[in-house]
């Protein structure tokens, strides 16, 4: 199960994800599904995504999720095999921190800021933006390495805790101030 977690906006390239998932389905015998967020999406855009899924003959394997309450997100993160996020551009998304805290493996567009947090083939895989074959191959890689990825969940969680734990970051900042003030 793959989860295209970002908002239903064109910048997040859900059409590209659906197309790559279609290629994955054609090449894999896995009984796989793609969960797709509809958060903040217009009905026009969501309907266009449904048409893309129909055109690629995967409509029965693409689940369009209603808006998920924040407190329910860990349920989804712990259910899926990998989270997909391949935007055209991005900052450092909260969903990346949240999903890593749940031990998720990621398939990410190759944007520089993600490299600060995710090591290739450890916490995630990087794909070339706009390259459907690259994303399809990443999906295939995740399916082939599924069991090993689940065993790295604790390591993924530890990685994000070191960098994004609020209590630890307060300690770090206070320590920096103390070094410069005294």
E strand residue ranges, the chain: 2-4, 34-37, 62-65, 82-85, 106-109, 124-127
Give residue-wise pLDDT tens across range 62-118: 999 998 999 999 999 999 999 999 999 999 898 999 999 999 999 999 999 999 899
Half-sphere CA count of 43, side-chain side, radius 13 A: 0
Give residue-wise pLDDT tens across range 120-132: 988 999 999 999 9
CA–CA gap between residue 24 and residue 61 (Å, rounded):
12
CA–CA gap between residue 15 and residue 143 (Å, rounded):
21
Give residue-wise pLDDT tens across range 128-182: 999 999 999 999 999 999 888 888 888 888 888 887 888 888 888 898 888 887 6
End-to-end Cα separation, the chain, in angstroms: 53
pTM of the complete model: 0.89
Nearest residue to 80 via CA among 133, 30, 34? 34
């Amino acid at each position: 199960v793959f989860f295209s977690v970002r908002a239903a906006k064109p910048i997040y390239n859900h059409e590209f994800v659906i197309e790559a998932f279609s290629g994955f389905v054609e090449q894999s015998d896995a009984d796989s599904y793609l969960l797709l967020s509809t958060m903040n999406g217009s009905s026009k855009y969501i309907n266009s995504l449904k048409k893309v899924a129909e055109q690629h003959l995967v409509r029965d394997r693409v689940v369009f999720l209603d808006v998920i309450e924040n407190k329910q997100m860990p349920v989804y993160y712990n259910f899926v095999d990998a989270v997909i996020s391949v935007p055209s551009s991005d900052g450092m998304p909260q969903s990346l921190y949240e999903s890593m805290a749940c031990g998720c493996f990621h398939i990410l567009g190759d944007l520089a800021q993600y490299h600060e947090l995710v090591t290739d083939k450890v916490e995630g895989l990087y794909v070339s933006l706009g390259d459907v074959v690259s994303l399809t191959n990443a999906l295939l890689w995740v399916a082939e390495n599924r069991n090993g990825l689940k065993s790295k969940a604790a390591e993924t969680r530890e990685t994000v805790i070191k960098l994004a734990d609020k209590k630890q970051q307060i300690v770090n900042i206070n320590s920096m101030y103390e070094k410069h003030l005294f």
